[in-house]
Amino acid sequence: MNVNRIELPQSTDALLVTKPENVRYLSGFTAPEDAWVLWRPEGGLLLTDARYAEQAPAESRLPVEIVNPREGRGFLEPHVRGLRVGYEAGHLPCAELERLGEATTARWQATAGIVEKARTVKTSEEIARIRAAAELADRGFAFVLELLRAGARERDLALELEFWLRKQGAEGPAFDFIVASGPRGALPHGVASDKVIEAGELVTLDFGAIVGGYRSDMTRTVAVGSVAPELRRIFDVTLAALEAALEAARPGVRARELDAVARGVIEEAGYGERFVHSLGHGVGLEIHEAPFLHRSSEDVLEPGMVVTLEPGIYVPGVGGVRIEELVVVTASGIVLLSHSPRSWTEV
């Protein structure tokens, strides 16, 4: 799999990559928690320990050096002697930076978001993996819809869905699934609880699968029997906000403008204060990654970006609605990766 060009800041000669998703992106190595990449304009080097002496060279696109981190960080010195080396300030612990400073003659410089920026535009192979994860999730939704009824427990639905996805080939759940029913629907991050679902409630399910290291992300809100008119109304407003955003999404549009389109629909309906999060986010090796679609985002949509659009309305004590689609930006517009019906559904 190819990766995009890594733009090192002019002030650095090399970058020490320690964040696992970035290590995996650059190398293809599937145990990135136990590895670093030293990236230089002329190429990279994967550093890992003896447990991976066989696996790392088999998986890594980069040359591999087996090191012994128990003996300190001296193994880096031959590669970084006298260089200006960037480190990932958002990830590297202070204690590790001290060890690097003591063990090498490099000048260490804080950097942020260098590999993450390259990761925003996906290759066709990355998109194929995300698409496969999203297709699995679509089938998982059809499965779990059969179990969704008054009397079911939120936690059981989440567990059944995760087990089903794994049996169908997912490497794991993309994150802790959200199953939020009734008043719990007002919690934007209501991870499945012991609560039993009751008739007359809305249920929000937010879930995804992992395929080849890449994640999917989708949310649906469904009604259990007939619900109070206000719940139906916030569903309709949320759906209208999502559809306005889908309509406006295309390459060249600013993320903040897209957020404003969806937010405008919700504000006009009088629920502006109840849309408490941003419109969406990039998805890939991480469940939340750049670009970020929020009010003050500087990001602009480009072909190859994979992002969510997920407006929501949360009314404390009453309930909530979120509907989330996963899309890939193309040269002329967007293509949906999630295909489950999003229209009003009563079970």
Contact residues for Zn ion, defined by CB under 5 A: 206, 217, 219, 308, 324
Q: State which amino acid sits at residue 51.
A: R
CB of 287 to Zn ion, least distance (A): 7
User: Closer to Zn ion at the Cβ: 188 or 319?
Assistant: 188
User: Closer to Zn ion at the Cβ: 37 or 279?
Assistant: 279
Tokens of 279: 């419109």
User: Closer to Zn ion at the Cβ: 286 or 324?
Assistant: 324
CB of 179 to Zn ion, least distance (A): 12
Distance separating alpha carbons of residues 322 and 219, to the nearest angstrom: 7
CB of 40 to Zn ion, least distance (A): 35
User: Closer to Zn ion at the Cβ: 181 or 308?
Assistant: 308
DSSP assignment of 30-81, as one string?
A: S-GGGEEEEEETTEEEEEE-GGGTTHHHHH-SS-EEE--GGG-SGGGHHHHT
CB of 278 to Zn ion, least distance (A): 10
CB of 217 to Zn ion, least distance (A): 4
Q: Between the CA of residue 71 and those of 47, 74, 141, 175, what are the distances in Å?
A: 14, 8, 49, 35
Distance separating alpha carbons of residues 116 and 133, to the nearest angstrom: 21
Dihedral of the CA atoms 331, 337, 339, 342 (nearest 10)?
Answer: -80
Instruction: For residue 309, report the phi and psi dihedrals to the nearest 5 degrees.
Output: -125, 115
Distance separating alpha carbons of residues 164 and 289, to the nearest angstrom: 26
CB of 239 to Zn ion, least distance (A): 16
User: Closer to Zn ion at the Cβ: 27 or 219?
Assistant: 219
User: Closer to Zn ion at the Cβ: 80 or 180?
Assistant: 180
Instruction: Output the CA angle 21-22-25, nearest 5 degrees.
Output: 85
CB of 176 to Zn ion, least distance (A): 11
| Residue 327 contacts residue 307 (beta carbons within 8 Å) | yes
User: What 3-state class would DSSP assign to 254?
Assistant: strand
State the pairing for strand pair 218-223/312-315: unpaired
| Residue 320 contacts residue 220 (beta carbons within 8 Å) | no
CB of 260 to Zn ion, least distance (A): 19
User: What 3-state class would DSSP assign to 241?
Assistant: helix
User: Closer to Zn ion at the Cβ: 32 or 280?
Assistant: 280
CB of 183 to Zn ion, least distance (A): 20
User: Closer to Zn ion at the Cβ: 15 or 209?
Assistant: 209
Which residues 6+ apart lie within 8 Å of 151 measured at CB?
196, 197
Distance separating alpha carbons of residues 112 and 109, to the nearest angstrom: 10
User: Closer to Zn ion at the Cβ: 75 or 175?
Assistant: 175
